[in-house]
Amino acid sequence: MIEVENLTKYYGPVPAITDITFQVEKGEILGFLGPNAAGKTTTMRILTCFMPPTRGRARVAGYDCLDQSLEVRRRIGYLPENVPLYNEMRVTDYLHFVSAIKGIPRRERSRKVAEVMGDCGLLEVAGKINGKLSKGYRQRVGLAQALLSDPEVLILDEPTVGLDPRQIIEIRNLIKSLAGRRTIILSTHILPEVSMTCQRVIIINEGRVIAVDTPENLTAQLEKSAQVLLQVEGPPEEVVTILSRVEGVLEVERRDIAADHQVHTYLVKSQPALDLRKELAAAVLRNQWGLLELRGVSLSLEDIFIRLVTEEEGSAADHPSQSTSGPEGPDEEEEL
Amino acid sequence: MNLFPILQREFKSYFVSPIAYIVTFIFLLVSGYFFYTNLAWYAFVSLQMASSTAEGVHDLNLTDGVLRPLFLNMSIVMLLMMPLLTMRLFSEEKKTGTIELLLTYPIRDVEALLGKFGACLAVFALMLALTLVYVLLMAFYGDPESGPVITGYLGLLMLGAAFIARGILASSLTENQVVAAALSFGFLLLFWAISWATFFTGPKLGSVLTYLSLMDHLNSFSKGVIETKDVVYYLGFTFYCLFLTLRSLESKRWRG
């Protein structure tokens, strides 16, 4: 559905993106992940025909973004970052304007507008002025205008930025419900968002693609060890010794909880693809300690991202120890 | 051509904000004052002539005495007011970022441009139409020739279109509305006064400068004469500015 080949864009002498190549299949949700100023918005602006690339080509539904820009634009719904709307217009009038400009026949406009307003939960703000809308509703109006004319491709630039947690969940569900018939590219720098909504992730940093894969594969690829987190009530030294003796365990790390001297948290690292939860539980129970918590911990996208970015920097600087793993995972692991 | 939605939106947005009302109000106020002073002067002179000898009375008529000065005065008020109407057309969209959506909808740049141009021209035409009250007043008490009235208004409309095209060009160059207004106002003022240099440039360059002057072309329109060179000048000026605006939009895309 979307093919991007060696896309390069310079702003003056500075490259914003360099040799970006990827494909998106029909019906896929692709996450575009990267720190701020990594080139996400630039790539999206090229795909939506807002600006041409310096080099390389981008194609949407078989049409070239540069030569057949109108055909491409007919098939794309775009939600730019910060949702620029005409602030002096009412929501309904605005959506009518967009449907007219997108070439929806006059007699179908009212129906289409009502449809997307229903889908995006805008019926209660229909008569309001765009400029007076809350951030969450603004985002929905932006999404609604992108959805008018039923585009095959949706390009959403940071659709959940600046929303409160409840709104974020609503918007994510809305996006997920749109998948299937439509191909969606969505950019974000919020990592859990990608693993929650996207089937495939592209990680870019400083204008270059550094990884393309499913969130699960990325995790599996980069996990150097399986980890289990235990909270045990018992004498700390003994617990560490006993846990270390369980077969397959590589390392046991104790983390203290200040409130109670008997209760500690332990992070047990074992060989990858080895589930030691049963054995660890048995070991704790055999010694009649209290097992307060036990759960497997997998690498969060956050860790993956930091690893990829630091590995990239390591190899770019020709670092001698580039084969060693990235930095130790941050203190708070997150479950996928 | 799918320019109507944009034309309609822009036209409405002039009346949602106070811009159109204020500009129209000031325009009518100032040109009304000019009309009053012209008329009062005309009445005074014609009274004097009637009480003295009858000679010269035939040279005195409403077209030369009231209408022509009124048209020329109105063109100056337009010069001051039009940049205020045009300054927001692209600058505002650039500032708020709506241009990113506008230029990714399935329309050509030229459709967006003509939609905006048409909306502004419509607002201006409305404003100009309101000044027809002066002509109606004159027709009620006297009988002005209809020819110069029609050509005069046609000339003002074409001059207005040229002002608007120049204003849109300025607006497409910057995201700051004040800069856009200053650019178009300064440029128009220069082209208004460009023929003043003919005093010392000699006849050859002088005739070129006179031809370039925005105001000199209004002269024959106000006399009731439509000259091809004037029509060509105004249309050329308008199209050239619109063409440059298109190029400016396009170059903005490439530069990012």
pLDDT at B53 (0 to 100): 66
List the pLDDT tens digit at each of the 336 positions of chain A.
889 988 898 888 888 888 889 888 888 889 888 877 788 889 999 999 998 998 898 999 889 988 888 999 999 999 998 899 999 999 999 999 999 999 899 999 999 999 899 888 888 998 899 999 988 889 889 999 999 988 999 999 988 877 778 878 888 888 888 877 889 998 887 777 777 788 888 888 888 888 888 877 776 666 666 778 888 888 878 888 888 888 888 888 887 665 567 788 888 887 776 778 888 888 888 888 888 888 877 666 667 777 776 766 655 444 343 333 334 434 334 333
* Cα gap A9→A59, rounded to integer Å: 16
For A55, the closest chain B residue by CA position comes to B254
3-class secondary structure for chain A? CEEEEEEEEEECCEEEEEEEEEEECCCCEEEEECCCCCCHHHHHHHHCCCCCCCEEEEEECCEECCCCHHHHHHCEEEECCCCCCCCCCEHHHHHHHHHHHCCCCHHHHHHHHHHHHHHCCCHHHCCCEHHHCCHHHHHHHHHHHHHCCCCCEEEEECCCCCCCHHHHHHHHHHHHHHECCEEEEEEECCHHHHHHHCCEEEEEECCEEEEEECHHHHHHHHCCCEEEEEEEECCHHHHHHHHHHCCCEEEEEEEECCCCCCEEEEEEEECCCCCCHHHHHHHHHHCCCEEEEEEEECCCHHHHHHHHHHHHHHHHCCCCCCCCCCCCCCCCCCCC
Sort strands A263-270 and A249-256 into parallel, antiparallel or unpaired. antiparallel
For B18, the closest chain A residue by CA position comes to A88
Contact A73 B105 (CB under 8 A): yes
pLDDT at A13 (0 to 100): 86
Which strand ranges, in their side-by-side order, compose the sheet holding A208-213?
A76-79, A153-157, A183-188, A29-33, A200-205, A208-213
Contact A16 B97 (CB under 8 A): no
CB nearest to A51's CB, from B5, B16, B253: B253
For A12, the closest chain B residue by CA position comes to B255
Chain A residues with CB within 8 Å of chain B CB: 9, 11, 16, 42, 45, 48-52, 70, 73-74, 76, 78, 80, 82, 84-89, 97-98, 100-103, 145
Contact B101 A80 (CB under 8 A): yes
pLDDT tens, A110-120? 999 998 998 88
Interface residue of A14, A46, A50, A102 to substitute, partner B, most B CBs within 10 Å: A50
Query: Measuring CA to CA, which residue among A251, A224, A240, A226 is closest to residue A323?
Result: A224
CB nearest to A50's CB, from B98, B107, B253: B253
Contact B256 A76 (CB under 8 A): no
DSSP state letter for B226: -
Q: What is the mean pLDDT of residues B108-112?
A: 92
pLDDT at A216 (0 to 100): 75
pLDDT tens, A133-143? 988 889 889 99
Q: How many CB atoms lie within 10 A of CB B117?
A: 25
Domain residue limits, chain B: 4-255
Count of A-B CB contacts under 8 Å? 66
pLDDT at A222 (0 to 100): 64
CB nearest to B105's CB, from A11, A86, A102: A102
- pLDDT band for B161, please (50, 70, 90 cuts): very high
- Chain A residues in contact with B253 (beta carbon < 8 A): 50-52
Which range, of A301-310, B171-180, B214-223, averages the lowest pLDDT?
A: A301-310
Q: What is the mean pLDDT of residues B38-63?
A: 77
DSSP B42-111: HHHHHHHHHHS-STTGGG--HIIIIIHHHHHHHHHHHHHHHHHHHTHHHHHHHHHSHHHHHTTSSS-HHH
In angstroms, what separates the C-alpha of B5 from chain A's closest C-alpha?
6
Instruction: Return the CATH fold of A224-297.
Output: Alpha-Beta Plaits (3.30.70)
Contact B256 A51 (CB under 8 A): yes
Residue B189 pLDDT > 70: yes
Q: For chain B, what percent of residues have pLDDT higher than 70?
A: 96
- Chain A residues in contact with B103 (beta carbon < 8 A): 50
pLDDT at A318 (0 to 100): 44
Domain residue limits, chain A: 2-220, 224-297
Class of domain A2-220 as given by CATH: alpha beta
CB A279 within 8 A of CB A196: no
Residues in chain B: 256
Residue B60 pLDDT > 80: no
CB nearest to B2's CB, from A49, A85, A103: A103
Q: How many CB atoms lie within 10 A of CB B24?
A: 20
- Chain A residues in contact with B105 (beta carbon < 8 A): 73, 98, 101-102
List residues bridging with A263 in a β-sheet. A233
- pLDDT band for B124, please (50, 70, 90 cuts): very high
**Region for residue B53 given its phi and psi (left: phi exceeds 0; alpha: psi -120 to 50; beta: otherwise):** beta
* Cα gap A137→A203, rounded to integer Å: 29
Q: How many CB atoms lie within 10 A of CB B22?
A: 12
- Chain A residues in contact with B13 (beta carbon < 8 A): 86, 88-89
- Chain A residues in contact with B18 (beta carbon < 8 A): none
CB nearest to A50's CB, from B13, B103, B108: B103
Q: Which residue has the higher pLDDT, B23 or A242?
A: B23
pLDDT at A320 (0 to 100): 40
**Cα-only R_g, chain A:** 25
In angstroms, what separates the C-alpha of A209 from chain B's closest C-alpha?
21
- Chain A residues in contact with B9 (beta carbon < 8 A): 86, 89, 97
Q: Which residue has the higher pLDDT, B123 or B46?
A: B123
Burial of A34 (0-12, 13-18, 19+ CB in 10 A): buried
How far CA A49 is from CA of A56, A168, A291, B102, in Å, comes to 14, 28, 58, 11
Which range, of A5-14, A164-173, B136-145, B221-230, averages the lowest pLDDT?
A: A164-173
CB nearest to B96's CB, from A9, A16, A84: A84
